[in-house]
Amino acid sequence: MDINVVNSLTYEDFVQIFGSVVEKCPLISAAVWSRRPFRDLADIETHITEFIHNLPDSGKEGILRCHPDLAGRDLQSGTLTRESQEEQSQAGMDTLDSTEILHMYRLNAQYKERFGFPFVICARLNKKAEILHQLSERLTNDRAAERERAIEEVKKICSLRLRNIVRCDIQTKL
């Protein structure tokens, strides 16, 4: 997407287009809109990242709580956001057998009980075996370390979603 087009978007259009780059947190895109004009897409990403970084721990945990469980109820029932559905499918989370689903359910429950927010990993950069491994391994982290690790994963997800928006826009124009 041409940066001039991005900079000329109305508040409503900007939030509609960029509102899902952080899962179920259009408020972040709404806040970043006021930082226009942007130099390029990387500048938008920097503003989003800075916004997240400057949140108190409770705000960061709020962002994490907006994420669905991997291979959880929302995937099984088809109620994930379009972006999460695509990401979980690419990682193979929709192909788990009943044993793997039960194992994932148990690990997700342990994780949420320990940390108070769902396990977040950039599914597009991982496959189901690595996701299961990371979920088990990260259960040993302390809360502060895990919150920061999960936020870093949110930033990866955001970065890829931003690139996907641009790619979709370019393909639409061709």
Tell me which long-range contacts 105-112 makes (C-beta under 8 A, separation of at least 24). 105/69, 105/71, 105/72, 107/132, 107/135, 107/136, 107/139, 108/69, 108/70, 108/71, 108/72, 108/135, 110/139, 111/135, 111/138, 111/139, 112/69
Residue 144 CB contacts under 8 Å (≥ 6 apart), including other chains? 57
Q: What's the one-letter identity of residue 35? A: R
Decide if 67 is catalytic.
yes
Helix ranges (H only) for the chain are: 3-8, 11-18, 26-33, 41-53, 57-65, 73-77, 82-90, 98-115, 128-138, 143-173
The single residue of 47, 53, 67, 103 carrying the catalytic annotation is 67
**DSSP state letter for 122:** -
Rounded to 5 degrees, what angle do the CA atoms 52, 54, 56 make?
A: 95
- Active-site residue numbers? 67
